[in-house]
Amino acid sequence: MNKPLLTIGMATFDDFHGVYFSIQALRMYHPEIMDETEIIIIDNNPDSAHGKECSNLKGHCPNLKYIPFTEYKSTVVRNQIFEQAQGDFVVSMDCHVLFEPGSLKRLLDFYKQDPTTDNLHQGPLVYDDLKNISTHFDPVWREQMYGIWQTDERGKDPNGEPFEIPMQGLGIFSCRKEAWLGFNKNFRGFGGEEGYIHEKFRQNGKKCLCLPFLRWVHRFGRPDGVKYPLTMENKLRNYFIGHFELGLSVEPIIEHFSRWKQRGFLEKIAEESKKVALPALKAAPPG
């Protein structure tokens, strides 16, 4: 395979079932882009039984790259998708996502028409009934998470024009490889990226766009439970770090989580997170 134009990557932690069906769906239902596309797996628990099965997939998929990553456990290992990508354009997807037929071809055509775009691109989530959609998150706190699913009427027509959104769930997102601004590498565990990465793009003069044709289905059900680290403390720490990085007030975080924790506890985590966030900012290269 020559240098790919598009990289589609997914991070996983003990979810071989999702990885298997997501990758095979890409290959079976989007064959028109496979000669221009590479697929990457970033495995955050490669020594497990699931990890070994994920690794075995590379023997069956000629355009698949399997990359174990054990330095730390975090949802921000998705940074590795962009760092390892050979394609000019990159799609990050959860390892349990299916794309509507034709949507990825339209995305590739979209990039070919605007190859220097620096914007962040997402699309409508399609629910399990395959009818209803959510185009974005409203920036509202609820149940220890930032963002509530909402629907903009403009997203209901797959042939509609792209439009700006405040934020969206990160089941899938895409941009030019060189335009990726990166998740804060001090995030750990799960949570804190939604809203954060969108504001980061905006603060750098970019847009966050919904592409109505880029439709995707996400498996939410987990009958066997969540395998990756999922704690309130990790979420809190990530939200605080992200807010400090972007120069945002952390008071909304403290106010929301005070339903579950004492203010003094929250302020202590905020102070510890600030010490982690600010040295990283000072060490970051300018621009």
Same domain membership, residue 209 and residue 236: no
Last residue of a domain, one of 181, 196, 218: 218
> Could you report the per-residue pLDDT of 95-111, keeping only the tens digit for each?
999 999 999 999 999 99
- Angular region, 143: left φ>0, alpha ψ -120 to 50, beta rest: left
Same domain membership, residue 201 and residue 266: no
- Cα distances from 68 to residues 40, 50, 91, 113, 211, in angstroms, run 11, 12, 19, 34, 31
Same domain membership, residue 242 and residue 105: no
Same domain membership, residue 243 and residue 154: no
Q: Which amino acid is at 202?
A: R
Nearest to 63 by CA among 106, 14, 6: 6
Between helix 263-283 and helix 232-246 the angle, nearest 10°, is 50
- Cα distances from 3 to residues 90, 177, 178, in angstroms, run 13, 14, 16
Distance CA 76, CA 90 (A): 15
Query: Is 62 inside any structural domain?
Result: yes
> Could you report the per-residue pLDDT of 152-206, keeping only the tens digit for each?
999 999 999 999 999 999 999 999 999 999 999 999 988 899 999 999 999 999 9
Same domain membership, residue 258 and residue 163: no
> Could you report the per-residue pLDDT of 240-285, keeping only the tens digit for each?
999 999 999 999 999 999 999 999 999 999 999 999 887 554 444 4
Same domain membership, residue 268 and residue 197: no
Same domain membership, residue 108 and residue 31: yes
> Could you report the per-residue pLDDT of 121-137, keeping only the tens digit for each?
999 999 999 999 999 99
Q: In total, how many domains does the chain have?
A: 2
Residue 286 confidence (pLDDT): 36
Query: Is 16 inside any structural domain?
Result: yes
Query: Is 224 inside any structural domain?
Result: no
Residue 14 confidence (pLDDT): 96
Residue 44 confidence (pLDDT): 96
Distance CA 259, CA 261 (A): 6
Same domain membership, residue 265 and residue 128: no
Same domain membership, residue 257 and residue 207: no
Query: Is 226 inside any structural domain?
Result: no
Note whether 107 and 172 are within 8 A (CB): no
Q: How far is CA 62 from the centre of its chain?
A: 25
Extract the tokens encoding 130. 């395959």
Query: Is 254 inside any structural domain?
Result: yes
Instruction: Look up the domain containing 244 and give its range.
Output: 232-281
Query: Is 252 inside any structural domain?
Result: yes
Nearest to 135 by CA among 119, 146, 147, 151: 151
Same domain membership, residue 128 and residue 257: no
Last residue of a domain, one of 189, 218, 247: 218
Same domain membership, residue 86 and residue 133: yes
Residue 162 is part of a domain; what is its CATH number?
A: 3.90.550.10
Distance CA 185, CA 31 (A): 34
Last residue of a domain, one of 218, 253, 268: 218
Same domain membership, residue 266 and residue 163: no
Residue 145 confidence (pLDDT): 94
Query: Is 1 inside any structural domain?
Result: no
